[in-house]
Amino acid sequence: MISRKQHDRMANAIRFLSMDAVEKANSGHPGLPMGAADVATVLFSRYLKFDPKAPLWADRDRFVLSAGHGSMLIYSLLHLTGYEDMTMEDLKLFRQLGSKTAGHPEYGHASGIETTTGPLGQGIANAVGMAIAERKLAEEFGSELQNHYTYVLCGDGCLMEGISHEAIALAGHLKLNKLVLFWDDNNITIDGAVSLSDSTDQIARFQAVHWNTIRVDGHNPEEIAAAIEAAQKSDRPTFIAAKTVIGFGAPNKAGTHKVHGSPLGAEEIAATRRALDWEAEAFTVPADILEAWRAAGKRSVGARREWEGRLDATETAKKSEFTRRFAGELPENLDAAVDAYKKKIADAPPTVATRKASEDALEVINGTLPETLGGSADLTPSNNTKTSQMKSITPTDFSGRYMHWGIREHGMAAAMNGIALHGGLIPYSGGFMIFTDYCRPSIRLAALMGIRVIHVLTHDSIGVGEDGPTHEPIEHMAALRAIPNLLMFRPADAVETAECWQLALKERHRPSGLALTRQNLAPSRLKYEAENLCAKGAYELVAADNAKVSIFASGSEVELAVKAAADLNGKGIAARVVSVPCFELFAEQPEAYRKAVIGNAPVKIAAEAAVRQGWDYFIGSDGDFIGMHSFGASGPAKDLFKHFGITAEAIVAAAEKKLA
């Protein structure tokens, strides 16, 4: 039992470490850690199931600090509870280059940081994904192995961001009852009072999306504890609105936006010391308080050992499957399955849209990998993401493997990040490529974190046709290629689609996107090759001795390039074709390979039904580009390709003009 006095002192340890670190860095956000310290103390000292000595324990409770600017809250907690890789030295290096204690919590910097947060609202949606993963894995492996809560702390900012609504509506719909969201209800944002810009009745809002809601005084430990206990028993996700004072304890600045994002200053810190009766010097935690915190960090050792015992006692096949999946390793038979599929289609190369080719590849993949969790943002029949193995997940039945995300691209992409971070599952989405604009922040965070999520992005060009320019990606390939650590694949036919899927799945630490067509494409790979040719990012598809023309193309334009090369060769102009399914993988190849693939034909032409940006890498600034120079238009796809001059004839004409 933790006395009120002890609780207060434990919470004050968070407050002072946060104040001290922000002061030393001369930058950061002391207000949130000071205001939310009581909530965090109750959660971490009495309820959160975690073991700092086993930070990756698969059944630990997850804690997400959605209000990432309050990063000193989590850094303090990790240090106090005994995570070995969060030392006092690390706290002193807050916000310094190369430190673990970055301005906002970054996944991978230190154990206990479950996700990267900072862009407000993302953490809530990540947590929804984690709760989905828990429920799914509990269904699959049983509650002996998966049975944990997901807690998330957010501020006013997170709740104002639209992504929060996508996420909470889905969580309410799915009845994710092991999800608990604390709202640091302090009425302050950067500009001042929340009332400057918002007057939402948050309780009513959460009730409207079927959450259990509880209001507490966020500085009253027993009220907070009672709310957590009620949340744990709820049949719905729980929203705990904790009324707090930002910068609690600072006599002159508490309750104002002055403590949100600036150091308190030596004088105010001294005044806070007096107000909270805190004798210890900066970056020092009184021994008895550190001991109490360390004891809190040991609370779940027994639970963890019992869990390990249950895992050990689990039947061998199930145990190794569970372990494999949490290690993020793929089953050994994936390559053989993809290879057999490649052989099969080589016998009669199909003319298909790559979205359909993706479905066919997924049929093989999903039959081999039980860990894939597919889904679509309400475009299942268009994205072709639901294969025969994929029964729908419903609020009452999580035995399926397919999420109907609803029309919520942003929430979907962020929740997928949460699923991947949770472990045990590989999420893939379905959506129209154009709407990566609606979820780009989450795709970027997946890339920043280095996690395996795969986005199926269909309707990848003016090939969309009749839906017109609002639905036709133009700049999206370039914009997505601009995100570091994201692999963007644009396969040209069924074989390349299977190869790109295989590559995406094997990327343990990178997200991928597959840009896929709506329209049918003629096969470009006509014979079986064991090697995954897409693995090098670009490869010579049609060779020519002493080529005068090199044509580089991706996806739907490979077919045009092959036809143009045949025409040119027929006219006695030696032309070769390079298929470019993935810029990023190509850039990683040795220089000799890149030079050989780019070649030295005097005429270089690139074809992609999108903007030129990026293609100069292949064709140089004096190369010719056959692609889009404006937004698209509404009409039959064939007419559009003609209208915008993206045809084999245009490639031939460009080559001839250059050679003339």
Task: Considering only the stretches 8-16, 25-33, 393-401, 408-416, report the one whose residues sit in contact with ligand TPP under the rule CB under 6 A.
Answer: 25-33
170 binds ligand TPP (CB under 6 A): no
How far is 320 from 563, CA to CA, in rounded Å? 50
The DSSP line for 482-520 is TSTT-EEE---SHHHHHHHHHHHHH-TT--EEEEE-SSE
**Residue 314, phi-psi category: left (phi > 0), alpha (psi -120 to 50), beta (remainder):** beta
Shortest distance, position 5 Cβ to ligand TPP, whole Å: 27
38 binds ligand TPP (CB under 6 A): no
Q: Which is nearer to ligand TPP, 186 or 238 (CB)?
A: 186
* Residue closest to ligand TPP (Cβ): 155
Q: Which is nearer to ligand TPP, 67 or 457 (CB)?
A: 67
Q: Among residues 3, 9, 42, which one has the least CA distance to residue 277?
A: 9
Shortest distance, position 532 Cβ to ligand TPP, whole Å: 38
How far is 98 from 112, CA to CA, in rounded Å? 18
Shortest distance, position 236 Cβ to ligand TPP, whole Å: 24
Shortest distance, position 428 Cβ to ligand TPP, whole Å: 25
The two tokens of residue 41 are: 């103390």
When binding is defined by CB under 6 A, the residue of 155, 427, 511, 627 that contacts ligand TPP is 155
Contact between 641 and 609 under an 8 Å Cβ cutoff? The reply is yes
Task: Considering only the stretches 64-72, 391-399, 431-439, 505-513, report the one whose residues sit in contact with ligand TPP under the rule CB under 6 A.
Answer: 64-72
Residue the block writes with tokens 């133009």: 474
How far is 137 from 398, CA to CA, in rounded Å? 9
SS3 239: strand
The CA distances from residue 373 to 4, 99, 426, 475, 633, in Å, are 45, 35, 6, 29, 35
Contact between 533 and 502 under an 8 Å Cβ cutoff? The reply is no
When binding is defined by CB under 6 A, the residue of 23, 38, 61, 161 that contacts ligand TPP is 161
Q: Which of residues 252-281 bind ligand TPP (CB under 6 A)?
A: 260
- Span between the terminal Cα atoms of the chain, in Å: 88
156 binds ligand TPP (CB under 6 A): yes
Task: Considering only the stretches 7-15, 150-158, 375-383, 572-580, report the one whose residues sit in contact with ligand TPP under the rule CB under 6 A.
Answer: 150-158
Shortest distance, position 444 Cβ to ligand TPP, whole Å: 12
Verify whether residue 409 is a known catalytic residue: yes
The CA distances from residue 620 to 228, 419, 602, in Å, are 61, 41, 11
Residue of 409, 499, 557, 608 with catalytic role: 409
Q: Which is nearer to ligand TPP, 69 or 422 (CB)?
A: 69
Tell me the angle at which helices 494-506 and 354-368 cross, rounded to the nearest 10 degrees.
Answer: 50
Q: Which is nearer to ligand TPP, 249 or 400 (CB)?
A: 249
The CA distances from residue 227 to 8, 39, 134, 175, 208, in Å, are 18, 11, 22, 18, 20
Shortest distance, position 159 Cβ to ligand TPP, whole Å: 8
How far is 503 from 539, CA to CA, in rounded Å? 15
Q: Which is nearer to ligand TPP, 255 or 375 (CB)?
A: 255
Q: Which is nearer to ligand TPP, 70 or 555 (CB)?
A: 70
When binding is defined by CB under 6 A, the residue of 37, 179, 245, 246 that contacts ligand TPP is 246
Shortest distance, position 100 Cβ to ligand TPP, whole Å: 20
Shortest distance, position 167 Cβ to ligand TPP, whole Å: 14
Q: Which is nearer to ligand TPP, 158 or 174 (CB)?
A: 158
Contact between 473 and 460 under an 8 Å Cβ cutoff? The reply is yes
69 binds ligand TPP (CB under 6 A): yes
Q: For 551, list phi and psi in degrees, rounded to 5.
A: -115, 125
73 binds ligand TPP (CB under 6 A): no
The two tokens of residue 20 are: 């001290």
Shortest distance, position 119 Cβ to ligand TPP, whole Å: 4
Task: Considering only the stretches 28-36, 296-304, 339-347, 526-534, report the one whose residues sit in contact with ligand TPP under the rule CB under 6 A.
Answer: 28-36
Q: Which is nearer to ligand TPP, 383 or 442 (CB)?
A: 442
32 binds ligand TPP (CB under 6 A): yes
Task: Considering only the stretches 9-17, 156-164, 384-392, 414-422, report the one whose residues sit in contact with ligand TPP under the rule CB under 6 A.
Answer: 156-164
How far is 229 from 216, CA to CA, in rounded Å? 13
When binding is defined by CB under 6 A, the residue of 14, 37, 48, 67 that contacts ligand TPP is 67
Burial 162-171 (b: 16+ CB within 10 A, else e): ebbbbbbbbb
**Burial of residue 622, with CB atoms counted within 10 A of its CB: 0-12 exposed, 13-18 middle, 19 or more buried:** exposed
Q: For 378, list phi and psi in degrees, rounded to 5.
A: 65, 30
Q: Which is nearer to ligand TPP, 119 or 473 (CB)?
A: 119
Burial 366-377 (b: 16+ CB within 10 A, else e): bebbebbbbbbb
Q: Which is nearer to ligand TPP, 159 or 338 (CB)?
A: 159
CA 457 and chain centroid, separation? 15
Q: Which of residues 178-207 bind ligand TPP (CB under 6 A)?
A: 184, 186, 188-190
Q: Which is nearer to ligand TPP, 29 or 219 (CB)?
A: 29
Q: Positive or negative CA dihedral for 21, 26, 28, 30?
A: positive
Shortest distance, position 188 Cβ to ligand TPP, whole Å: 5
The CA distances from residue 535 to 318, 405, 427, in Å, are 32, 31, 21
Contact between 550 and 598 under an 8 Å Cβ cutoff? The reply is yes
Q: Which of residues 104-143 bind ligand TPP (CB under 6 A)?
A: 118-120
Q: Which is nearer to ligand TPP, 260 or 548 (CB)?
A: 260
Q: Residue count at the site for ligand TPP (CB under 6 A)?
A: 21
Task: Considering only the stretches 153-161, 170-178, 469-477, 542-550, report the one whose residues sit in contact with ligand TPP under the rule CB under 6 A.
Answer: 153-161
Task: Considering only the stretches 26-34, 76-84, 222-230, 442-450, report the one whose residues sit in contact with ligand TPP under the rule CB under 6 A.
Answer: 26-34
Shortest distance, position 57 Cβ to ligand TPP, whole Å: 30
SS3 257: helix
Shortest distance, position 160 Cβ to ligand TPP, whole Å: 8
166 binds ligand TPP (CB under 6 A): no
| DSSP β-ladder status, 352-353 and 520-521 | antiparallel
Task: Considering only the stretches 126-134, 154-162, 269-277, 324-332, report the one whose residues sit in contact with ligand TPP under the rule CB under 6 A.
Answer: 154-162
Which residues are at the interface with ligand TPP (CB under 6 A)?
Answer: 29, 31-32, 67, 69-70, 118-120, 155-158, 161, 184, 186, 188-190, 246, 260
Active site residues: 409
